[in-house]
A and B are shown apart, each in its own frame.
Chain A
Amino acid sequence: MTERLNLSARADKYGRRTNRTHSPVRAASVPYLSVMLASALPILVIAGSAPLIPPLGFLMLICWRIVRPGFFPPWAGALLGAFDDLFSGQPFGSAILLWSLTMLVLEFVEARFPWRGFWQDWLAAGLASALYLVAALSLSGATPGGHLILAIVPQIVLTVLLYPLAVRLVAGLDLFRLARVKVID
């Protein structure tokens, strides 16, 4: 009989290692489901005068892209964008186009600047969100005007400030995604 000295010796942050493994369904589905939920959530808020809520679906997509580079294939932007278009109020196709472009551009940026830290990530996510919001506004079919641009400035600021929180949430979801819950007999 061997005696266990340390109870956590056979565990890591994903749980016990003995006799357990990841759930493949959970590992594959959590990122997609979380982005889709984040796309659908802002519809529940009534914003009568100006866009108010950060584009949560897009933010989640970028955060997953940063936390787990390579999890989302480059074409996932088109799929998730189509779902986002059903809820966002934008003309259908705008998120398919912009999210696909984002995935390609981030892929390129990552190849160009392979070593990154928190601040670079925040800069990249902030720039991507700001450009995305301006592009989405210009593709929304609204009559262009200075008031419209001014109206989305608070939304841009809020989106940039929300990034650290969102990326923590995604890191938490990643722990949940890879938790060892499946028992091997």
Chain B
Amino acid sequence: MAPISSRRSGHSRRAQYSLFTGYALAAFGVLLGAALLAVSLLNPSAFSGPRMAASDAVAPAGAGAARTRAASSGVLDEITAYWRAGSQNAALRREAELARIRLGEAKALEQENRELRALLGLGEAGGRTVAVARLVGSSSTSGRRFAYLDAGARSGVAAGMPVRSAQGVIGRVLEVGNRSARVMLLSDSESVLPVKRAGDELVAFAEGRGDGKLRIRLLNLGINPLKEGDLFVTSGAGGYFRPGIAAAILEEVTPDGGVARIVADPAAATAVMVEAIWIAEAVEASRSSPDKGFAPEGDSE
């Protein structure tokens, strides 16, 4: 199709001026966008007001979509379960037996833990569940990995709080609106989580790569002791997450650490828990500290 002739201004002064004004305004838009972008990149929490108002507005629609998503994945699960009923039944029975034993052991440990904690005089202030919410959306077109919760400041959610599902770590709250909150997922390329290997005290950082995998970076250099299948849990360093929440499973060993996949899939999580910051004092201290090496999460947004 050829361009319409009305856009050739000809001798009409009015048409010439309006055409020129259009281009001038577009060029102004480019400059304005560049300026706003520079502000946003230097200060990521800028413009959070309008952004969270917008996410508050779509949160109800997202909650509806989340309900449908949960229902439809339930249907799929039922169909696959029907196909594999026989073999699954036997395996599940064995698993339930084992789980019952482990649960008993865990209860005993919990009891012991409580007694030891009481002995030390440590409170249970951090790590309690602030809100149970649904993931109602995500930044599915952008290279950044953010998700949206349908709980916000009204439910007591605040920036910095850890978010987890029943499986493990989901991410950390970045911005809070009235009825919704924006969460930086573990897979985001700016997310850094202090972890340790379950079973021993081998500490590392789990950094998002932006493609759904995590890069495990060991703190102590030397011979790489990692093996495929190693489970990493939060270490509690940094003060945001309480220790012991499952985060990642090692898939591939590299010279300086490894590549791990995330335990908790945000798309499969029907409900997530927002927990209080584990040790608020540690977070405050690391925020005011000029030494960024000790604050791997403090400024990552």
> Are B144 and A140 neighbours in the complex by a CB distance under 8 Å?
yes
Q: CB < 8 Å: which of B37, B69, B137 contacts A43?
A: B137
Q: How far is the CA of A124 from the CA of B273 in the complex (A)?
A: 45
Q: CB < 8 Å: which of B23, B61, B141, B144 contacts A141?
A: B144
Residues of chain A contacted by B146 (CB below 8 angstroms): 89
Determine the residue in chain A with the shortest Cβ distance to B62: A44
Residues of chain B contacted by A141 (CB below 8 angstroms): 40-41, 44, 144, 190
Q: How far is the CA of A52 from the CA of B139 in the complex (A)?
A: 9
Q: Does B79 contact A (CB under 8 A)?
A: no
Q: Does A7 contact B (CB under 8 A)?
A: no
Q: CB < 8 Å: which of B3, B34, B147, B185 contacts A93?
A: B34
Q: CB < 8 Å: which of B26, B137, B142 contacts A44?
A: B137
Nearest-neighbour CB distance to chain B for A67, whole angstroms, equals 9
> Are B6 and A48 neighbours in the complex by a CB distance under 8 Å?
no
Determine the residue in chain A with the shortest Cβ distance to B47: A92
Q: How far is the CA of A52 from the CA of B210 in the complex (A)?
A: 12
Please count how many residues in chain A sit with their CB below 8 Å of the partner chain's CB atoms: 63
A55-88 contact mask (Cβ, 8 Å, vs B): 1 or 0: 1100000000000011001110110010001111
> Are A78 and B26 neighbours in the complex by a CB distance under 8 Å?
yes
Which residues of chain B from 37 to 56 have a CB within 8 Å of any chain A CB? 37-41, 44, 46-47, 50-51, 54-55
Q: How far is the CA of A75 from the CA of B2 in the complex (A)?
A: 22
Q: How far is the CA of A176 from the CA of B38 in the complex (A)?
A: 40
Q: Does B22 contact A (CB under 8 A)?
A: yes
Q: Does A119 contact B (CB under 8 A)?
A: no
Which residues of chain B from 189 to 214 have a CB within 8 Å of any chain A CB? 189-190, 209-213
Q: CB < 8 Å: which of A40, A45, A56, A152 contacts B138?
A: A45
Top 7 closest pairs, chain A to chain B, by CB: A89-B139, A49-B212, A78-B29, A97-B33, A93-B36, A96-B33, A93-B37
Q: List the interface of chain A (C-beta within 8 A of B).
A: 40, 42-56, 69-70, 73-75, 77-78, 81, 85-101, 103-104, 107, 110-111, 114-116, 136-137, 139-143, 145, 147-148, 150-152, 155
Q: List the interface of chain B (C-beta within 8 A of A).
A: 1-4, 6-7, 22-23, 25-30, 32-41, 44, 46-47, 50-51, 54-55, 58, 61-62, 65, 69, 135-148, 185, 187-190, 209-213, 262, 265-267
